Amino acid sequence: MSYPVTGEQFLGTARVPGTGPARTAVDPSTGETFGPEYRDAASEHIERACAAAELAFDAYRAVPDEQRARFLRAIADELTNRTDALVERAGRESGLPAARLTGEVARTAGQLRLFAETVEEGSWHGARIDPAIPDRQPLPRADIRQRQVPLGPVAVFGASNFPLAFSVAGGDTASALAAGCPVVVKAHEAHPGTSELAAGAIAAAAEATGMPDGVFSLLYGDGPTVGGALAADPRIQAIGFTGSRGAGLALTRAAAARPVPIPVYAEMSSTNPVLLLPSALASRGADLGTAFVGSLTLGAGQFCTNPGMVFAVEGDGLDAFETSARKAVEASTGATMLTANIARAYASGVEKLSGHADVQVLATGAQPTTASGGCATLVATDAASLMADAALRDEVFGATSVLVRCRDEAELIALLRVLEGQLTVTLHADEADHELAGRLLPVLERLAGRIVFNGWPTGVEVGHAMVHGGPYPATSNSRTTSVGSLAIERFLRPVAYQDAPAGILPTELRDDNPTGTWRRINGVLGNH
Amino acid sequence: MSYPVTGEQFLGTARVPGTGPARTAVDPSTGETFGPEYRDAASEHIERACAAAELAFDAYRAVPDEQRARFLRAIADELTNRTDALVERAGRESGLPAARLTGEVARTAGQLRLFAETVEEGSWHGARIDPAIPDRQPLPRADIRQRQVPLGPVAVFGASNFPLAFSVAGGDTASALAAGCPVVVKAHEAHPGTSELAAGAIAAAAEATGMPDGVFSLLYGDGPTVGGALAADPRIQAIGFTGSRGAGLALTRAAAARPVPIPVYAEMSSTNPVLLLPSALASRGADLGTAFVGSLTLGAGQFCTNPGMVFAVEGDGLDAFETSARKAVEASTGATMLTANIARAYASGVEKLSGHADVQVLATGAQPTTASGGCATLVATDAASLMADAALRDEVFGATSVLVRCRDEAELIALLRVLEGQLTVTLHADEADHELAGRLLPVLERLAGRIVFNGWPTGVEVGHAMVHGGPYPATSNSRTTSVGSLAIERFLRPVAYQDAPAGILPTELRDDNPTGTWRRINGVLGNH
């Protein structure tokens, strides 16, 4: 099969070109543009996509679990079928290597299959039954039953750095569709063709599995105009976003200012501190230095979980860590960054950091010769300087990290307490460090959504136990995750039914539990 | 035992009078003030309460589940011990009758016991384990484990209309303490003595069960000054509120404007529409009219779930409903309202509604002779008028309701679609109405948090399946409830632990599951 890209939007099942400003994709490694032309959505297209999503909502949420799971698996299959086309197009649009993108297609498909399983497993319904007690004194107790229902149409804003896994058919779309919410995606400007291909996979799957028209739409456009109008549409009931802090906060403000505010799940920024505890540092400082730079330079450092800060108490092994990290950075070849804008922002961030009076540049990697190349940089400072200037703690999106030398454990802990919320925090700890690690744990639990031991924060496993989230400003809502099956809950809300006649009750709340789902009866969990 | 009130605040275990403006309680039935004097918290008191809560947090959240449950049960016991004092004082401060308040003490104690059970049951930990797969290709899978951790200190703002169940030791305090969050309460100005007595029960329980100092504090003061400062304190991590829309939205805005925004769970307002479906109306119109007024006038209509609108399609039984409802309203004797302000606002709301050109006054009850009396009022209008003027759909807090006559089913459905989010919606439906009820259900699920069949919305059962919440503006967050055991989740957030050494793992995530809690292993739920 061939999968041509045409530049058209998906308004439900209709394919319609935009009529706003025209854009084309740019190859970041050469700066060259290439077709087709993508025109921004006009307000009539946003209106049509939202109207279709609203119209589809009741039909889609009534689709039985097994059929909804079939839809999610069909999307996974359709994406898999398009692997070659996606990898080729995403490679040109993002500069990311084919091996990484091949893996990302598989990850995206795997994510959809995880949500298919989650839908089938049934506990997401949150079914609860408190049966009536007619002879209770002084008043009888009514029969109360509860389940989770989907919020309504969801707007998804794709990220630049994962053109597949955090984009059109990515985690937010998968979890919203799993919850029973139609989805309207605004494609990221940097990968319109990849977006169109992924949308084609969703549309084909929706058709093949008989989903209602409007369950999915794709619009092109910028954040402020098209994104802003989409976020303001009264039919949109929640927003999923991965991207910069500025854009995420703008969306959050826009959503709060609506006549009816809606939740925004924005995953925004993180410096992902890595802590080298004394015994681990002493026993394997050199190895840690090399492995750290491997994580730092992965994907040109363009991961939300890139290790942007390393904390160590001065002592045995720190010199060895520095030496090997410096060598690894110097040996790094750099890479094309996702877009020219990102490369410019990275260069300026590195320049600002390197030029800071309290910062020493330890090592710089080779600057690649491509148009939007970024080179790895390692700088160092001390804890007191990092405490004194919040700007030193800002994320530099790319392969740059700050090594922070702490005088003692007390300074390390004081530093952890001033940090902003993070997606991850990592500890390298040997047996002899466990006592300290245990004492740090309560601080780290308040700091981040994921605590990594003796590994590196890059590489977010897709599973049931993953948390990709964390306290503000890592995300706009710490009580959820954007990766892993728990994410289905962000698009659900509870409804109680009091004394509902048997014939009206939703399937999962009927006395006979025909789907054998998990339920809490008088508070007791079981398949009853 | 006697339980004197002294006018002191609770700053952790210290009892300290405020130094701000002085207030005294007012008997709404006479307008007379009575002691002791309560002075507002100064900023140093807010500072002290928040610092104590922050200091208590790590110790409190580390308290084992069974000990935390013991604390919650001890509060229930201490409240029960104080029943006479609470009923006497709350009666004078609120004008509510002793029988109702006696029931409310029992309800408040029952709520605490429900959360004790919920804590012990353990599934609130949200334990999830995805074990490592060392030989997975192309990359090994790390061991990932997840649990829910408490957010941090919570500020609770008590409601005027439930001086016990939605106040100092009410649902928000119970669910936050259950989740492991210290609580700082701002007492409602209308019942300072009741607040002090309830705080005494919590403090005694905390001491008896060895809870850390600072797990609970009580401050006196107004919303804008003391409440605003409390909501802005950086140590406060979430807010629970029940009250007016104006105050709730002010809190929500203040929380969103903080350098680090925090969630606000505000339960604000609702008109709780009641739908009389044709067959039910035809078969028992007269009985429905009488029962409706029973719900309307309960507690002087001062319930969040008071039935403020009744919708009926013109047809058989509507005259009978009107006639019996009118008679019941005319026979009603009215009651003292909670405060002089509430009585004034009620009178002005009724006057505005009654004077509306498109509204007919059907019946007015007797005006009580007490200082802050409110009398029941029933008015009527038609669907087109209600559609045309949103002001007709505003909540009038008190025993007033609007009967809305619809021409046909289509008009009824159109009306449901323009309504704002509600706490409840009620249907009276006979067998022959079930087909219509089934068609309405998707609309009603989007409208309200609880759907009541053949009953009345007043009377919110405390249990596992209850939802006391709903779409904006009924609450600021539709994805939760303020009554029932699900409320524990609003004060929790997920944290993942990757490859954590066994000795560092939290108890509920250890391989041997020593507490036998519910866990999801590779997505499969069980006591494993």
- The full DSSP string for B371-433 is TTEE--EEEEEEHHHHHH-GGGGS--SSSEEEEEEESSHHHHHHHHHHSPPEEEEEEE--GGG
Query: Under a CB-based contact definition with an 8 Å cutoff, are residues B294 and B259 in contact?
Result: no
Mutate to test the interface with A, among B149, B433, B447, B464 (most CBs of A within 10 A): B464
For chain A, say whether B493 makes contact (Cβ under 8 Å): yes
For chain B, say whether A138 makes contact (Cβ under 8 Å): yes
Reply yes or no: is the peptide bond before residue A182 cis, omega within 30 of 0. Answer: no
pLDDT along chain B (528 residues), means of 10: 95 96 96 97 98 98 98 98 98 97 98 98 98 95 98 96 97 98 98 98 98 98 96 98 96 95 96 98 98 96 96 96 98 95 96 97 95 96 96 95 97 96 98 97 98 96 98 98 98 98 96 95 96
Which chain B residue's Cα is nearest to A493?
B479
A131 SS3 class:
coil
Q: What is the pLDDT of residue B305?
A: 96
Cα distance between residue B231 and residue B250, in whole Å: 10
Q: What is the pLDDT of residue B28?
A: 97
For chain B, say whether A486 makes contact (Cβ under 8 Å): yes
Other Cβ atoms less than 10 A from the Cβ of A474: the count is 28
Enumerate the residues of chain A whose CB falls inside 8 A of the CB of residue B59: none
For chain B, say whether A58 makes contact (Cβ under 8 Å): yes
- Output the CA torsion sign for A235, A240, A243, A244: positive
Beta bridge partners of A453: A427
Cα three-residue angle B151-B152-B157, rounded to 5 degrees: 100
Enumerate the residues of chain B whose CB falls inside 8 A of the CB of residue A488: none
Task: Encode B233-257: b = buried (16+ Cβ within 10 Å), e = exposed.
Answer: bebbbbbbbbbbbebbbbbbebbbe
Q: Do A499 and B145 touch (CB under 8 A)?
A: no
Q: Do A465 and B151 touch (CB under 8 A)?
A: no
Token digits for B426? 């009620």
> Which region holds residue B55: left if phi is over 0, alpha if psi is between -120 and 50, else beta?
alpha
The catalytic residue among A104, A196, A267, A508 is A267
Token digits for B433? 């109405």
Check residue A298 and report its DSSP letter. G
Backbone dihedral angles phi then psi of residue A463, each to the nearest 5 degrees: -165, -165
For chain B, say whether A357 makes contact (Cβ under 8 Å): no
Which of B426, B449, B447 is closest to B277 using CA atoms? B426
Nearest chain A Cα distance for residue B424, angstroms: 9
Q: Where are the beta strands (DSSP E) in A40-180?
A: 127-130, 144-150, 154-157
Q: What is the pLDDT of residue A138?
A: 87
Q: Which residue has the tokens 């809870």?
A: B211
DSSP state letters, A266-296: EE------EEE-HHHHHHHHHHHHHHHHHHH
Share of chain A above pLDDT 90, in %: 99
For chain A, say whether B459 makes contact (Cβ under 8 Å): yes
Beta bridge partners of A424: A450
Q: What is the pLDDT of residue A1?
A: 82
Which of B490, B480, B486 is closest to B463 using CA atoms? B486
Cα distance between residue A385 and residue A405, in whole Å: 10
Task: Encode A10-47: b = buried (16+ Cβ within 10 Å), e = exposed.
Answer: bbbbebbbbebeebebbbbbeeeeeebebbbbbeebbe
R_g (Cα) of chain B, nearest Å: 25
Task: Encode A209-228: b = buried (16+ Cβ within 10 Å), e = exposed.
Answer: bebbbbbbbbbbbebebbbb
The catalytic residue among B304, B322, B395, B411 is B304
CA distances from A408 to A311, A315, A327, A376 (A): 11, 9, 26, 28
Q: What is the pLDDT of residue B365?
A: 97
Backbone dihedral angles phi then psi of residue B118, each to the nearest 5 degrees: -65, -40
- Output the CA torsion sign for A364, A368, A374, A376: negative
Q: What is the pLDDT of residue A511?
A: 97
Nearest chain B Cα distance for residue A312, angstroms: 19
Enumerate the residues of chain A whose CB falls inside 8 A of the CB of residue B475: none
A269 pLDDT more than 90: no
All domains of chain B in start order, with CATH: 10-123+146-268+479-486 (3.40.605.10), 274-453 (3.40.309.10)
CB contact residues (below 8 A), chain A span 87-116, against chain B: 103
DSSP state letters, A362-393: EEE-PPPSSTTEE--EEEEEEHHHHHH-GGGG
Question: What pLDDT digit, counting tens, does each position of A200-229 carry?
Answer: 999 999 999 999 999 999 999 999 999 999
Other Cβ atoms less than 10 A from the Cβ of B90: the count is 27
Question: What pLDDT digit, counting tens, does each position of A491-507 carry?
Answer: 999 999 999 999 999 99
CB contact residues (below 8 A), chain B span 370-429, against chain A: 421, 429
Give, for B17, the enclosing helix (H) or strand (E).
Answer: strand B14-17
Q: Is A267 a catalytic residue?
A: yes
For chain A, say whether B122 makes contact (Cβ under 8 Å): no
Helices (H), B62-215: 65-81, 83-94, 98-121, 171-179, 192-208
Which of A163, A184, A462 is closest to A342 using CA atoms? A163
Backbone dihedral angles phi then psi of residue A301, each to the nearest 5 degrees: 70, 15
Enumerate the residues of chain B whose CB falls inside 8 A of the CB of residue A128: 464-465, 486
Amino acid found at A155: A
Which chain B residue's Cα is nearest to A485?
B523
Query: Under a CB-based contact definition with an 8 Å cutoff, are residues A402 and A352 in contact?
Result: no
Amino acid found at A340: A
Q: What is the pLDDT of residue B1?
A: 82
Q: What is the pLDDT of residue A304?
A: 94
Nearest to A495 among B445, B454, B494 (CB): B445
Interface size A-B, in CB pairs within 8 Å, comes to 219
Query: Under a CB-based contact definition with an 8 Å cutoff, are residues B305 and B274 in contact?
Result: no
Task: Encode B264-273: b = buried (16+ Cβ within 10 Å), e = exposed.
Answer: bbbbbbbbbb
B53 SS3 class:
helix
Cα distance between residue A525 and residue B32, in whole Å: 52
Other Cβ atoms less than 10 A from the Cβ of B439: the count is 11
Q: Is B267 a catalytic residue?
A: yes
Mutate to test the interface with B, among A117, A467, A518 (most CBs of B within 10 A): A467
CB contact residues (below 8 A), chain B span 202-241, against chain A: none
Which chain A residue's Cα is nearest to B501?
A453
Q: Do A450 and B152 touch (CB under 8 A)?
A: no
Cα three-residue angle B423-A149-A52, rounded to 5 degrees: 105
Q: Which residue has the tokens 């902003």?
A: A420
Token digits for B476? 């600021």
Cα distance between residue A485 and residue A466, in whole Å: 8
Helices vs strands, H then E, count in chain B: 14, 23
CB contact residues (below 8 A), chain B span 424-443, against chain A: 429, 431, 434, 437-438, 441-442
Q: What is the pLDDT of residue A223?
A: 94
Amino acid found at B244: S
Query: Under a CB-based contact definition with an 8 Å cutoff, are residues B336 and B95 in contact?
Result: yes
- Output the CA torsion sign for B472, B476, B479, B483: negative
CA distances from B268 to B243, B251, B395 (A): 5, 11, 10
Per-residue pLDDT band at A47 (split at 50, 70, 90): very high
Q: Do B493 and A485 touch (CB under 8 A)?
A: no
Give, for A205, the enclosing helix (H) or strand (E).
Answer: helix A192-208
Which chain A residue's Cα is nearest to B59?
A442
Question: What pLDDT digit, counting tens, does each position of A82-112 carry?
Answer: 999 999 999 999 999 999 999 999 999 999 9
Nearest chain B Cα distance for residue A395, angstroms: 17
Q: What is the pLDDT of residue A225?
A: 95
Mutate to test the interface with B, among A124, A504, A527, A528 (most CBs of B within 10 A): A504
